[in-house]
Amino acid sequence: MRDNSTALASNRYSLHRQLAVFLLSFFALETGWNHIRGTWLERFVIDRVTVQTSVALINRLTPSTEARAQGSSIVSQRGSINVRNGCEGTEVLFLLVGGLLAYPFSWRWRAVGLMVAAAFVFALNQTRLLALFYSIQNDRTLFNALHGVVAPGSLVLLTLMFFVTLINLSSRSQALVEPSA
């Protein structure tokens, strides 16, 4: 009986430790990002990386749209969206990074997870921005639904699914390496 209570206490400690690492990581990243508001780094991430990539994708998919980047805005004749701090996907990335740091992955899985996570969240957010851009041009009600509920919820849900998939892949990989009893 004592062994079970010791294991339970150890698991509880581990869960509390993971939660603390997750929260500290997330809030440290979020605080750091908030401190760079208005700097060249924020402008680079939003204007260059996020907006210019979206404009390139839009013009590739629908050249007749003639979208263009104007600072943090994606502009066309039929409608525009403004990408503000928070619309570039960093919060979702920070949640995922917090999870990757808190979960007991090997350092190799953590490093690979961080690289793939950044690309994954970027691609998801670009998809979200394209959906918002096209919806503002065609249906304001759809835009409001996508912007307010559907897109943010989808980003979080798909990122959680990515994280769970990473856990499963890591577990399978570890099971292949460990000898069977």
Q: Phi/psi of residue 54, each to 5°? A: -60, -45
Q: Phi/psi of residue 80, each to 5°? A: -140, 155
Domain that holds residue 134: 13-175
Task: Examine residue 81 and state whether it is found in any structural domain, yes or no.
Answer: yes
Query: Does the global pTM surpass 0.75?
Result: yes
Number of domains in the chain: 1
Task: Examine residue 6 and state whether it is found in any structural domain, yes or no.
Answer: no
Task: Examine residue 5 and state whether it is found in any structural domain, yes or no.
Answer: no
Task: Examine residue 159 and state whether it is found in any structural domain, yes or no.
Answer: yes
Q: Which residues of the chain form beta strands (DSSP E)?
A: 68-70, 73-76, 79-82
The predicted pLDDT at position 9 comes to 47
Task: Examine residue 52 and state whether it is found in any structural domain, yes or no.
Answer: yes
What letter would DSSP give residue 85?
Answer: T
Mean local confidence (pLDDT), 159-180: 81
Task: Examine residue 62 and state whether it is found in any structural domain, yes or no.
Answer: yes
Task: Examine residue 2 and state whether it is found in any structural domain, yes or no.
Answer: no
The predicted pLDDT at position 10 comes to 52
The predicted pLDDT at position 180 comes to 56
Q: What is the mean pLDDT of the chain?
A: 89
